[in-house]
Amino acid sequence: MRNNYLFTSESVSEGHPDKVADQISDAIVDLFLSKDPEARIACETLTTTQLVVLAGEIRCKGVYEDGAWAPGAQEEIERTVRETVKRIGYEQDGFHWESFRFENNLHGQSAHIAQGVDAAGNKDEGAGDQGIMFGFACDETPDLMPATLDYSHKILAKMAADRHSGRAPFLEPDAKSQVTLRFENGKPAAATAIVVSTQHAPGYDEGAKEAELKNYVKGVVAEVMPANLLSDETVYHINPTGSFEIGGPDGDAGLTGRKIIVDTYGGASPHGGGAFSGKDPTKVDRSAAYITRYLAKNIVAAGLAKRCTIQLAYAIGVSEPLSLYVDTHGTGTVGDDRIEQAIKGIKELGGLTPRGIRTHLGLNKPIYQPSAAYGHFGRKPEGDFFPWERTDLVEKLRAAL
């Protein structure tokens, strides 16, 4: 591993068109899981100027059964979509929660997929698809996340909170951030560059109003980031292209699943390629990515390593994972092979089968929309939400090793 280097991660706000799509897809997941904890959902969303389109495959008791919609179900879906866009804050001519055109093209799940995934007889529930999933944790921040991504998320989350509260009425929903840090001896030492592009009200691209916006953004950065990382040498690029009035789905089309690096580790870890939003937890793209983060975080929290990457692999319709791989990047206090064996020996994990993962983390609940903006990882576990961020395996791992 290199000890001295520059590294950069980016984030996008809840109003970014791709994130609007992610939040809509996960609102549909939550809606169906609230009706049927065993629902099957694969919901994709397209957003563009005054249009939202849903597509995908579903199965849900009381909503869509035997190829037919339950009375009122489609109206409830549309209402859920519009409420999601309203919560984000879009009331613009080019994209307004109340007046955009809406298409629902969801249809029944393939029977051939269902036969591989569903439990039957002596067959346990299988993985919803083949694939590889990665989890990661490091000791760069208290949340055990890469510092560049953690700060990128928190800058935008703070700006969104100020927009919703009225503290920053000149902000509009669409925004992006990027943080570059210089690392010395493997630790964050200085912020060399901060990039923030935010949609704004008319007139905030010149003169005193432009200065007000830029000073506000610098103030947010100062609130979020440790003071020792910022200096007169930190370079700020705030709305570097100039005016940013047209944004959101009106400025650029959005699709579910196009921000997978923002959703995970900001490029600090490998990624298996599968998106999370819009998928129920039988899809291992989602649930196995959550359990690998959970395991990696607990390993770092237990003091067994400073950095940890974990990979799982699955075959569609097969319950047992094909492989488990642990890499502590030379920072482990014990051998990586011993950590692998310790994980396999923890009975509460249910052998890391799809059912075992869902049961241990309690994933068959409507808990997903909050994860669809500002990252799925590094969040605070509260109640049923973000259970993969708990560190309740620390003592078991220490005892096993």
Q: Extract the annotated binding site for Mg(2+).
A: 18
Active site (annotated) includes residue 76 = no
Identified catalytic residue from 7, 10, 14, 16: 16
Taking the C-alpha atoms of residue 182 and residue 114, their distance in angstroms, rounded to an integer, is 49
Taking the C-alpha atoms of residue 193 and residue 131, their distance in angstroms, rounded to an integer, is 36
Active site (annotated) includes residue 279 = yes
Taking the C-alpha atoms of residue 81 and residue 75, their distance in angstroms, rounded to an integer, is 10
Cite the annotated binding site for K(+) by residue number.
Answer: 44
Cite the annotated binding site for L-methionine by residue number.
Answer: 57, 109, 252, 283
Active site (annotated) includes residue 244 = yes
Identified catalytic residue from 38, 210, 252, 320: 252
Q: Which residues contact 401 (CB under 8 A, 6 or more apart)?
A: 304, 334, 338, 339, 342
For residue 324, count other CB atoms closer than 10 A to its CB: 17
Q: Are strands 40-48 and 254-255 parallel, antiparallel or unpaired?
A: antiparallel
Q: Whose CA is closest to 225, among 196, 198, 205?
A: 196
Identified catalytic residue from 125, 250, 285, 389: 285
Q: Which residues contact 241 (CB under 8 A, 6 or more apart)?
A: 197
Return the residue matching tokens 């590889």: 132
Contact yes or no for 46/209 (Cβ under 8 A): no
Active site (annotated) includes residue 164 = no
Identified catalytic residue from 253, 313, 315, 400: 253
Active site (annotated) includes residue 57 = yes
**Tokens linked to 315:** 């075959």
Contact yes or no for 116/124 (Cβ under 8 A): no
- Residue 39, φ and ψ in degrees, nearest 5: -60, 150
Identified catalytic residue from 10, 18, 22, 26: 18
Identified catalytic residue from 59, 153, 154, 176: 176
Q: Whose CA is closest to 295, among 310, 275, 307, 306?
A: 310
Active site (annotated) includes residue 347 = no
Contact yes or no for 372/22 (Cβ under 8 A): yes
Active site (annotated) includes residue 19 = yes
Identified catalytic residue from 26, 44, 129, 280: 44
**Tokens linked to 13:** 């706000």
Identified catalytic residue from 59, 258, 297, 306: 258
- Alpha carbons within 13 angstroms on the beta-carbon side of residue 330 total 4
Identified catalytic residue from 59, 153, 279, 358: 279
Return the residue matching tokens 């049961």: 359
Active site (annotated) includes residue 176 = yes
Q: Whose CA is closest to 89, among 167, 14, 175, 168?
A: 14
Identified catalytic residue from 38, 55, 57, 87: 57
Cite the annotated binding site by residue number.
Answer: 16, 18, 44, 57, 109, 174-176, 252, 258-259, 275, 279, 283
Contact yes or no for 6/181 (Cβ under 8 A): yes
Identified catalytic residue from 154, 200, 259, 297: 259
Identified catalytic residue from 32, 95, 136, 244: 244
Cite the annotated binding site for ATP by residue number.
Answer: 16, 174-176, 252, 258-259, 275, 279
Residues with catalytic annotation?
Answer: 16, 18-19, 44, 57, 176, 244, 252-253, 258-259, 279, 283, 285
